[in-house]
Chains A and B, each alone.
Chain A
């Protein structure tokens, strides 16, 4: 466990090594939240609520979705693909640790860093500018904390899956781009799932994407109440377990097929 903690620390150091990235990061998140807020204000334009969500709730939903994204989002899929493309994975495999586990920990280090140094300042800045509503119920915060932890796990698992595919194709840039877009769209980041047509909502029940953004944001805005919260969390737990199987199988096959590029 020690080595994983150390890896999180190293990732912190790496994030701090490039400070400009960090400041522009805060700015980009604020711009995104602002843009989506004004878009939604235009859509609401006078209506007090759409699909049972008030404009205030929607503003909070947008803000918190982006803030949660800072935590669950990571680039380990790209890193794995790059390490395979450049043959750097060889130096990872001579270390006595689980490669995918270590990658996940690096993602976690990155996530915690962004949560503390990017999300929090970002939320404070946007809360000054936009009418956000924060719950005062301690349970809501606890459920939300648990929920974004699960978001992180599911998103990282999808990233690992996408990354490991690079062991077979050696270059999966297109797949990674598609995956990123699909997650932004179907996770509820851009549009809450309850706004999709019924048939689309029905289909999305069979995919893990809404577990990434929609569920934690709905919990935070208290749009989910009682049983809905429990169901949401359960949905997340199930997917985070289910996704382990394809990762395990692919990884086992990948190690056999491994080719080290560039000598």
Chain B
């Protein structure tokens, strides 16, 4: 199993121009403009093996899309080494892009005014896929994604969910060994999301397709990826298994109490201070959430129940989403 993606000290800088204020400023901008150099991606290194499904996550503007664009040969890196499928994406663009599939969730790569099948036909010619390969591979894809009835409709008449399934099929026409998905589930409903996830898992198993996925929907990552790479301000702050992330950060539970009368935090804090519990106000009236270390769950519940009358009680795991939020708030991930 070779490395499909090798990235070493990859950097991308942009010039960000700023406008001066006022009319005079606008005139001055005609001649000289102020700019700052912004490091969208700052010396990152990682490798991805054949057949891995990797979640690439980060806040808006963290540099995810910029990285993907460098890995797919669209943008030229400012510095550093990139090797994808054994090629330099930017230098050998035309040969290289034959070996990858890309879906940009926010852009359509199908032709807007013509039927989906015409786009497929063009892409089949562009990637020089033989009739027999196309038939064998695409019939299955079309069936699994359930887009057969959509093929003769122009793209502009499809709903977002329908379009995204067609986009995915279009990216797979040449059955690439490596797939980049840039926010593929943005704005989709739960059913379509599930269908797309299942499909991605299937092609990963069937063809050992490597998938690099960016998303803001952590449930995508939980459903698909064993490994996450977390990016913040252009730097990798975590690279490892999702499991380890949860173990290191997701210790403890949350207990939500709904009391029958009004309670203040001043009343709650002294009771549980010995276990290091943090309290925060819940969304409903009279509800409080205790953030509790795992070992002391039962003690805390019995303590609270003994002191106050409660109406309801819920126990939660700390969600991955929360873990990730915590990491971003606190900075670099430990472990």
Contacts and interface: CB of A to CB of B under 8 A. Distances in A.
B326 interface: no
Contacts of A263: 65, 106
B244 interface: no
Interface string B100-125: 10101011110101100011011001
A196 B268 CA distance: 94
A3 B122 contact: yes
A258 B74 contact: yes
A137 interface: no
A262 to B, nearest CB: 8
B111 A93 contact: no
Contacts of A199: none
Nearest to B94: A96
B76 A256 contact: yes
A18 interface: yes
A17 interface: yes
B252 interface: no
Interface residues of A, number: 26
Contacts of B58: none
Secondary structure dominating the interface of B: mixed
B127 interface: yes
Nearest to B154: A17
Contact of B126 (A17, A93, A96, A258): A96
A13 B126 contact: no
A92 to B, nearest CB: 9
Contacts of A10: 111, 114, 118-119, 122
B97 interface: yes
Contacts of A90: 69, 74, 104, 107
Contacts of A93: 72-74, 93, 97
Interface string A10-33: 100110011000000000000000
B95 interface: yes
B93 A6 contact: no
B207 interface: no
Contacts of A258: 74-76
Contacts of B35: none
A262 B60 CA distance: 12
Interface string A240-263: 000000000000000110111011
A13 B104 contact: no
B29 to A, nearest CB: 14
B109 A18 contact: no
Given A10-B111, A14-B113, A260 B94 contact: no
Interface in B57-100: 65, 69, 72-76, 93-95, 97-98, 100
A236 B294 CA distance: 81
B14 interface: yes
Contacts of B154: 17
Interface string A51-72: 0000000000000000000000
B195 to A, nearest CB: 23
A88 B108 CA distance: 8
B35 to A, nearest CB: 13
A91 B155 CA distance: 16
Nearest to B180: A94
A91 B106 CA distance: 11
Nearest to B167: A91
24 contacts: A3-B125, A6-B126, A10-B122, A13-B113, A14-B111, A14-B114, A90-B74, A90-B104, A90-B107, A91-B102, A91-B104, A91-B107, A93-B74, A94-B74, A95-B97, A96-B97, A96-B98, A98-B94, A255-B76, A258-B75, A260-B65, A260-B69, A263-B65, A263-B106
Interface of A: 2-3, 6-7, 10, 13-14, 17-18, 87-88, 90-91, 93-98, 255-256, 258-260, 262-263
Given A10-B114, A91-B109, A94-B74, 10 more contacts: A10-B122, A17-B114, A91-B107, A93-B93, A94-B97, A94-B109, A96-B97, A96-B126, A97-B94, A263-B106
Q: Which 9 pairs from chain A and chain B are nearest by CB?
A: A91-B109, A6-B125, A17-B113, A3-B125, A3-B126, A94-B102, A93-B74, A96-B98, A13-B114
